[in-house]
Structure 1
Amino acid sequence: MGCTMSSDPSVDKRSLFSANGARASVSPNSVLALTTGDPRVFEPFWRKMGDACKVVIGGGDLMSYFSDVGNVCWFLEPELGDAIRRLHRVVGNAVTEDRHIVVGTGSTQLFQAALYALTTPAAAVEPVSVVSSAPYYSSYPEVVDCLRSSLYKWEGDACTFNKDGPYIEVVNSPNNPDGTLRETVVKRGQGKVIYDFAYYWPQYTAITSAADHDIMLFTFSKCTGHAGSRIGWALVKDKDIAKKMTQYITITSIGVSKESQFRAAKIMKVICDGCQNVGSTAAKSGNFFEYARVIMSKRWQKLREALQHSEYLSLFKYPRERCLFTGELNERLPAFAWLECKEGIKDCEEFLRGFDVVGRGGKAFGADPKFVRVSLLCGDEDFNGIIERLLEIKGIRNGN
């Protein structure tokens, strides 16, 4: 992968090179690709658990399409439904009473299902506008527009949206990429809201209240780190909406893998047992969220230290808030670093590429290119690598 420095003339490129003219960086073959949110950071915890989360599935088990024909979401395994409700009760981050649970192949499928449910049958000639406050999750535009549906279309930043007619606002809180807590922006009577709570877990933010909205999306990948299981769930108040979401998943994938549901239910049970100090694995597992929060706290501390007094890059500062789960004042520890370039550098993504660090630029999130998102959910080797690169940038600038 080729790497180029910023073309902005206000940046003194000579300060980014060592005295002998060579760039002070590791080999060009060592490129840190930190564009995705692949949650490898929590692997050590689950590896130490050994067989505590092991599941055994016989050749004749879980063979039917159907799980619970009496449930709105007929392919939801009852054990997973119970585990989801228990997990939210233990953490206190969402209301589950009088809610229908719809399970999906990750929260992306559930997002698509919610769009379908909120726009079917079509009540207007024009597609329903879908908006979210910038910087918004970079996949929203492509997910909304990938099918070029006549039901809905992406309209961009909710803050600048002024079109008449029905709309759907997506609220991602804590927000990906910048970690801020979000509420609705558009205040008109014809709107519907989808709340994306992928990161509303104690390792990323204080749990300030139990979220209580009509449609709330959650994902196993960011809760526990098990992205490969491809499990997400929605808590849905309206039965008809839950039915339509289920219909969408039925059409697109005829349900969700039972093996994945079975594994997710077992892992959620282990987490809850550890948090409540009950069950045979509690002593071994401990509190997963405490472990995860310590890891994220250490990473943010190292990141802030690496960028302290930096003349090129800056970070957001987040307030401390009272957490209902821990009972303490907790700092927000987002899954991503939303870096901003200073000193007239116009393209932060391009700037970091000059040090073999590949982040996702601000334009992908509907924001200024002076921003770039860098994942903090990577494995230890990659995280230590980004810290080293950031220290190199500061060291070169200071003439060290």
Structure 2
Amino acid sequence: PGGQALRNEIAQLYDSIDPDQVLAHSGAQEAIFNFMNAMLDRSDHVITMFPTYQSLFEVADAIGCEIDRWYLTQDQHQWTIDIDQLKKLIKPNTKLICINTPNNPTGYTLTNQQMVEIAEIANQSGIYIFSDEVYKGLELDGIERKWFVDLYDRAVSLGVMSKAYGLAGLRIGWIATKDKEILEAMTKFKHYTTICNSSTSEYLATIALKNGKKILDRNLSIIRKNLDLSDIFFEKYRDLFQYNKPMCGPIAFHCMKSDLSINEFCNEMVEEAGILLLPSEIYSYRGNYFRMGYGRTDFENNLKRFEAYLIDKKLV
């Protein structure tokens, strides 16, 4: 399940979780894969917030589950989601609702009230919630959100060192849940994947979590500085782009107001300018959207290269 010291630190992130209710993994990907393979079968119906991190629907799809997408939509320059639409998607065989909040790729995050409403909907039908919350702690509005596991006994909250903390090389992730059946099933399944984690990585992750607030504050300051630059950039080029400022985390999902293929645009951008933007096709999402990152300390220089490319191609 992970070393005791690591699980002690992870448990302190939550309001109602004990160390024995934490299961450490080799990154978030293993945790998603193990949960779905341990808890789902082909007769199950899964609802997933969309767009989202690909594994949150691809693994269930590979198992053979029936999947419905619960779409985020745009309200002017912000993303939003309709809770009533979630209710309409529930079927007699719905076993799981997959949440991704803060959301990858949009940077949207649910409010505490929305989370309570979703938990109540799931509880009415005894549905599991698997909530990918790996960017939690980087809320830009300063309002702390709850973890789903603190709101609902059949919820699983996913965390990882690679996203909000920026420590991807450690390859340490975890799930927290109060559901004994899930903990037992995932513990058994892990014996067939990685068995255990790197002790060195667990040791370093424990040190990082002890200093978690310092790390998150540093990362937030980088994001805020970069978003200030981004505000100016996208206001300047508002005729070409729809700017969708994130609510949380270092990523946003902007839209290009052009007939140019977003795939071609992103491919040429990385090949000619060395700037990596992820086109919406990667997320199986329609439209001329692209994901843009705000977590790097060299963001200002890269934004200048982005602008130079647009000027060189006579796009602005």
- The TM-score, its normalising length taken from structure 1, stands at 0.62
> 1:50 maps to what in 2?
none
Q: Do residues 79 (structure 1) and 5 (structure 2) align?
A: yes
Structure number, greater radius of gyration: 1
Contact 1:141 1:154 in 2 (8 A): no
Q: For residues 28-73 of structure 1, what are the alpha-carbon distances to aligned partners after superposition, in whole Å with 9 as ceiling and x for unaligned?
A: xxxxxxxxxxxxxxxxxxxxxxxxxxxxxxxxxxxxxxxxxxxxx3
Residue 387 of structure 1: which of 297, 303, 310 is its match? 303
Q: Secondary structure at the match of 1:251?
A: coil
What stretches of structure 1 move > 3 A for 4+ residues in a row? 141-145, 159-164, 182-188, 202-207, 352-358, 393-400
Deviating more after overlay: 99-108 vs 186-195: 186-195
Contact 1:201 1:207 in 2 (8 A): no
CA distance in 1, matches of 2:242, 2:313: 15
**Are residues 266 and 98 of structure 1, via their aligned partners in 2, closer, same or farther at CA, if it must alter by over 3 Å?**
closer
Amino acid at match of 1:348: I
Residue 172 of structure 1: which of 100, 120, 144 is its match? 100
> 2:284 maps to what in 1?
366
Residue 106 of structure 1: which of 27, 51, 54 is its match? 27
Contact 1:362 1:371 in 2 (8 A): yes
CA distance in 2, matches of 1:396, 1:130: 46
Residue 65 of structure 2: which of 122, 133, 153 is its match? 153
Q: CA deviation at 1:139?
A: 3.5
Q: CA deviation at 1:298?
A: 0.7
- The TM-score, its normalising length taken from structure 2, stands at 0.77
* Structure 2 runs not aligned, ≥5 long: 72-84
> 1:129 maps to what in 2?
45
Contact 1:307 1:390 in 2 (8 A): no
Q: Do residues 237 (structure 1) and 164 (structure 2) align?
A: no
Q: Secondary structure at the match of 2:47?
A: strand
**Are residues 240 and 395 of structure 1, via their aligned partners in 2, closer, same or farther at CA, if it must alter by over 3 Å?**
same
Q: Secondary structure at the match of 2:157?
A: strand
**Are residues 232 and 200 of structure 1, via their aligned partners in 2, closer, same or farther at CA, if it must alter by over 3 Å?**
same
Task: After TM superposition, list the pairs within 5 Å mapping 1:86-105 onto structure 2.
Answer: 86=12, 88=13, 95-97=16-18, 100-105=21-26
**Are residues 110 and 376 of structure 1, via their aligned partners in 2, closer, same or farther at CA, if it must alter by over 3 Å?**
same
Q: Do residues 227 (structure 1) and 227 (structure 2) align?
A: no
Q: CA deviation at 1:352?
A: 3.5
Task: After TM superposition, list the pairs within 5 Å mapping 1:246-257 onto structure 2.
Answer: 246-257=187-198
Q: For residues 174-204 of structure 1, what are the alpha-carbon distances to aligned partners after superposition, in whole Å with 9 as ceiling and x for unaligned?
A: 1000011135498672532101110011366
Q: Secondary structure at the match of 1:391?
A: helix
**Are residues 205 and 345 of structure 1, via their aligned partners in 2, closer, same or farther at CA, if it must alter by over 3 Å?**
farther
Q: For residues 327-369 of structure 1, what are the alpha-carbon distances to aligned partners after superposition, in whole Å with 9 as ceiling and x for unaligned?
A: xxxxx34321211011x43632322433334422213323223
CA distance in 1, matches of 2:206, 2:262: 41
Task: After TM superposition, list the pairs within 5 Å mapping 1:342-353 onto structure 2.
Answer: 342=257, 344-345=258-259, 347-353=261-267
Contact 2:222 2:296 in 1 (8 A): no
> 1:298 maps to what in 2?
225
CA distance in 2, matches of 1:362, 1:102: 33
Q: Secondary structure at the match of 1:133?
A: strand
Amino acid at match of 1:167: K
Residue 240 of structure 2: which of 286, 305, 312 is its match? 312
Q: Do residues 355 (structure 1) and 282 (structure 2) align?
A: no
Amino acid at match of 2:65: K
Contact 2:50 2:70 in 1 (8 A): yes
Amino acid at match of 2:263: E
Q: Do residues 336 (structure 1) and 260 (structure 2) align?
A: no
Q: Do residues 191 (structure 1) and 105 (structure 2) align?
A: no
Residue 258 of structure 1: which of 181, 188, 199 is its match? 199
Contact 1:176 1:336 in 2 (8 A): yes
CA distance in 2, matches of 1:169, 1:376: 29
Q: CA deviation at 1:305?
A: 1.4
Amino acid at match of 2:169: G
Q: Secondary structure at the match of 1:179?
A: coil
Q: CA deviation at 1:386?
A: 3.4
**Are residues 79 and 315 of structure 1, via their aligned partners in 2, closer, same or farther at CA, if it must alter by over 3 Å?**
same
Q: Secondary structure at the match of 1:217?
A: strand
The structure richer in helix per residue is 2
Q: For residues 246-278 of structure 1, what are the alpha-carbon distances to aligned partners after superposition, in whole Å with 9 as ceiling and x for unaligned?
A: 111112121222221122112222x15xx5xxx
CA distance in 2, matches of 1:115, 1:365: 20
Q: Secondary structure at the match of 1:354?
A: helix
**Are residues 144 and 239 of structure 1, via their aligned partners in 2, closer, same or farther at CA, if it must alter by over 3 Å?**
same
Larger RCO (alpha carbons 8 Å, 6+ apart)? 1
CA distance in 2, matches of 1:204, 1:106: 25
Task: Give percent identity, aligned residues only.
Answer: 20
CA distance in 2, matches of 1:396, 1:251: 52
**Are residues 100 and 304 of structure 1, via their aligned partners in 2, closer, same or farther at CA, if it must alter by over 3 Å?**
same
* Structure 1 runs not aligned, ≥5 long: 1-72, 276-286, 319-331
**Are residues 363 and 131 of structure 1, via their aligned partners in 2, closer, same or farther at CA, if it must alter by over 3 Å?**
farther
CA distance in 1, matches of 2:188, 2:315: 62
